[in-house]
Chain A
Amino acid sequence: MNNRNSLDKYEKRLLKEIMNIMIPANQELLAAGDKGLVKELETLFFDSITHRKSIFKILDSIKLNIDVRMNGSFFSLEKKRKIEILKWLEKNMFDEFVILKESIFLTYYNDKEVVKKIEWDKNFIKKNENLQIEWDKKVISKVSKLKPFWKKI
């Protein structure tokens, strides 16, 4: 089952919903899923077997969840219940969830619009010539007066 290389339509929708829950919209930016980043996530991470397998394992677990099955789909559940399911997965499928979460966050925080809004481009990507910091000897003036306290043996 986990040998698949791409997401089907339902899985894309499911992943989009998870992304929206984990990184919702704010006043300036759309939620991660609504930004259309599912495709980006696939592009960035589906060449890695580990990432692909972990994401499919989480999606499969959601599909098999008893509440999801009883209600017809994950989308029919109330948001509170959706969050509970994700929290349960975070606790019980720790390694896979870490990879899913990492993939979502990495995709989102590498999106050009997001990078610009959080000013990561200004502060890091573009070189800031004014940030030159020198070693200042004064900082050790107190600690350097401590008597040596390593054990001589």
Chain B
Amino acid sequence: MKEIADFIVIGSGASGAAFSWKMSKAGAKVICIEQGDNVSRNDLPKNRSDIEISAAKEWNWNPNIRKNKYDYPIDNSNSPIHPLMYNSVGGSTLHYTAHTPRFHPSDFRVKTLDKISFDWPISYFDLEKYYDENDQIMSCSGLSGDPANPPRSERSLKPVPLGEDGERIAKAFDRLNWHWWPSDNYVNSNNFKNNWKFYGSHALMDRESISSTDQNYLPKAVKNGTKILTNCRVSKIVLDNNYKAKSVKYIKDGKELELEGKNIVLASNAIGTPRILFMSSTLGHENGLGNSSGLLGKNLMFHPYAFIRGRFEGNNKFFLGPNANILMSQQFYETDSNRDFYRGFTLQMVRNNGPAFSALEMDWGDNHHKEFKKSFGNIVGFSIIAEDLPEETNFISLDKNNRDSDGLPGVSINYNVSQNSRKILDFALKRTKEVLDEAGAEYLYENSLMRYAGWHLMGTAKMGLDSKNSVTNEFGRMHDLENVYIVDGSLFVTSASVNPTPTIQALSLYIADNIIRSGK
């Protein structure tokens, strides 16, 4: 008998796993299709001596460098920021730092507050209980009581220790009377007692301490009956004669197969999702499936990142501890009419890398050893994560000249950093130098725009109430197709200035819950 799923979920990362769990818990028959493979715990880059080599090769953030057979080519030549992702069961949650702040209520009301950009069709408070639910399942370490954010429930795990370097920076913020707070993480802080060598070069921290969806949501979903098909690359969503989605075509081991479903759910990130919808163009949907608004693939948002390094004197060992989820400051998060830009930024403290990646940030040549000796173990850094406002001129399209290992087209990125984002970064760099100075660290260098920093992919199928200026409705259902949903970062209307994973997952749970409540 032919297998027909209630929901075919395309992607098993942050959003697809959360959705699969929620729907399968409600009794739906869910089949989750994943282009990548399972990653064995034994294959994870752990605390091993060649961890940095692994980070540069098979665990590289950049799919264009990594070139696993599950990756698809991305032409970055028209973008100063290169998108990063991981394709496997668990998706990019196998690759992220697990720094998990939430959006602020203001992030959902940019138009109302600042008369620019757009409001989301939902509010922070619509998502609040799903943030909580997600924090429980992903296991959040952190501390409630942050004055920059709405009150939230106690975190299930205590915060990650700041370390001596973190405490120095925290005290500097205190002296400046600036906000700071220990970071929320999906990290098992209990492991720290015996494992403080929790080393974070290029997100290759002790990944067994980091929560990823292959370890939490997906096993639960499978227990509920969800089937996960791995190494299956979706090539097309197929419509029936009534312009309703009826199946997906996918490629496994070079063969094209078809799977029927009552509903199709896209959870392939803000590049992969529009890619599939563009590849599914058909009669009546010539410019991409569900693209009557013309906005599919547009409004691509990254978070433009700048980076700054300073150096403490002494013989410290400040490479011990997580790399980027230590503490953050949201002193300059909101719009301030005294500044010449809208919205703001989050400042995230970043630790030393291992020796090779630390050395890469120093001069090569005659001065190298001197610099290394003075700097290694003594470095402190800050990532500046700027809010990126949506622009239709930032978009993705199919790249038929570069194809993946199954012959499907790659993706081309067209993206420019806006004047507003540039102003945020410039302002933030100046403020960050003040923190370094206050902490007693010598300023070393800055990178005013990080190229390999496209971790956060957002906005290419934005949600909204009006089908003329959005791709899905407020519940993630495509305006043009009654049984196709999007549950990933493509839906984002604006980007905030924090890591997006908890918001992506809360959104996915919210959409699933709405479907359940509507009795579909």
The residues of A with any CB-CB pair to B shorter than 8 Å are 21-24, 26, 44-45, 48-51, 83, 94, 99, 101-103, 105-106, 108-110, 114-115, 118, 120-121, 123-125, 127-128, 131-136, 139-140, 142-144, 146-153
Alpha-carbon distance between A1 and B119 when the two chains are bound, in angstroms: 53
- Shortest CB-to-CB span from A11 to chain B, Å, is 20
Among residues of A, the one whose C-beta sits closest to the C-beta of B164 is A133
- Shortest CB-to-CB span from A76 to chain B, Å, is 20
For chain B, residues 339 to 367, give those with C-beta under 8 angstroms from any C-beta of chain A.
354-357, 359-360, 364-366
Do B182 and A151 have beta carbons less than 8 Å apart? no
Do B364 and A44 have beta carbons less than 8 Å apart? no
Do A143 and B181 have beta carbons less than 8 Å apart? yes
Residue B271 at the A interface, CB < 8 A?
Answer: no
Chain B residues contacting A108 (CB-CB under 8 Å) are: 356, 359
Do B197 and A109 have beta carbons less than 8 Å apart? no
Do B113 and A133 have beta carbons less than 8 Å apart? no
Alpha-carbon distance between A148 and B159 when the two chains are bound, in angstroms: 20
Number of interface residues of B (CB under 8 A): 66
Chain B residues contacting A101 (CB-CB under 8 Å) are: 360, 364
Other 14 A-B pairs with CB < 8 A, given A50-B65, A109-B354, A123-B317: A94-B451, A102-B356, A114-B355, A115-B355, A127-B197, A131-B317, A135-B158, A139-B162, A140-B143, A140-B182, A143-B173, A146-B179, A150-B149, A151-B113
- Shortest CB-to-CB span from B175 to chain A, Å, is 9
Do A48 and B57 have beta carbons less than 8 Å apart? yes
Do B57 and A118 have beta carbons less than 8 Å apart? no
Do A23 and B368 have beta carbons less than 8 Å apart? yes
Binds A, one of B19-27, B188-196, B224-232: B188-196
Alpha-carbon distance between A152 and B112 when the two chains are bound, in angstroms: 12
Do B355 and A109 have beta carbons less than 8 Å apart? yes
Residue B52 at the A interface, CB < 8 A?
Answer: yes
Chain A residues contacting B170 (CB-CB under 8 Å) are: 139-140, 143
Known: A143-B181, A153-B106. A110 touches B197 (CB 8 A): no
- Shortest CB-to-CB span from A49 to chain B, Å, is 6
Chain B residues contacting A152 (CB-CB under 8 Å) are: 105
Chain A residues contacting B53 (CB-CB under 8 Å) are: 44, 106, 110
Chain A residues contacting B199 (CB-CB under 8 Å) are: 124
Residue B56 at the A interface, CB < 8 A?
Answer: yes
21 pairs from A and B in contact (CB 8 Å cutoff)? A50-B67, A51-B57, A51-B65, A102-B360, A105-B357, A109-B52, A109-B354, A110-B356, A118-B372, A123-B317, A123-B319, A123-B377, A131-B317, A133-B163, A133-B192, A140-B170, A142-B174, A143-B180, A143-B181, A150-B150, A153-B112
- Shortest CB-to-CB span from B63 to chain A, Å, is 10
Main secondary structure of the interface of B (DSSP, over half): loop
Residue B515 at the A interface, CB < 8 A?
Answer: no
Known: A124-B354, A135-B161, A136-B161. A106 touches B52 (CB 8 A): yes
- Shortest CB-to-CB span from A80 to chain B, Å, is 11
Residue B374 at the A interface, CB < 8 A?
Answer: no
Known: A22-B364, A143-B181, A144-B145. A128 touches B106 (CB 8 A): no
Among residues of B, the one whose C-beta sits closest to the C-beta of A44 is B53
Alpha-carbon distance between A99 and B368 when the two chains are bound, in angstroms: 18
A148 CB contact (under 8 Å) in B65, B113, B147, B334: B147
Residue B160 at the A interface, CB < 8 A?
Answer: yes
- List 10 A-B pairs, minimum CB-CB distance, nearest first: A109-B356, A22-B364, A109-B355, A146-B147, A26-B369, A151-B106, A133-B161, A142-B174, A106-B356, A148-B147
B354 CB contact (under 8 Å) in A48, A120, A146: A120
Among residues of A, the one whose C-beta sits closest to the C-beta of B173 is A143
Count chain A CB atoms within 10 A of each CB in B56, B160, B334 and give the residue with the most.
B56
Residue B50 at the A interface, CB < 8 A?
Answer: yes
- What 0/1 readout, one digit per residue, does chain B (85-107) give for beta carbons within 8 Å of chain A? 00000000000000000001110
Alpha-carbon distance between A128 and B198 when the two chains are bound, in angstroms: 11
Residue B281 at the A interface, CB < 8 A?
Answer: no
Chain B residues contacting A146 (CB-CB under 8 Å) are: 147, 179
Residue B49 at the A interface, CB < 8 A?
Answer: yes
- Shortest CB-to-CB span from B315 to chain A, Å, is 10
- What 0/1 readout, one digit per residue, does chain B (224-243) give for beta carbons within 8 Å of chain A? 00000000000000000000
Residue B376 at the A interface, CB < 8 A?
Answer: yes
Residue B64 at the A interface, CB < 8 A?
Answer: yes
Alpha-carbon distance between A105 and B162 when the two chains are bound, in angstroms: 29
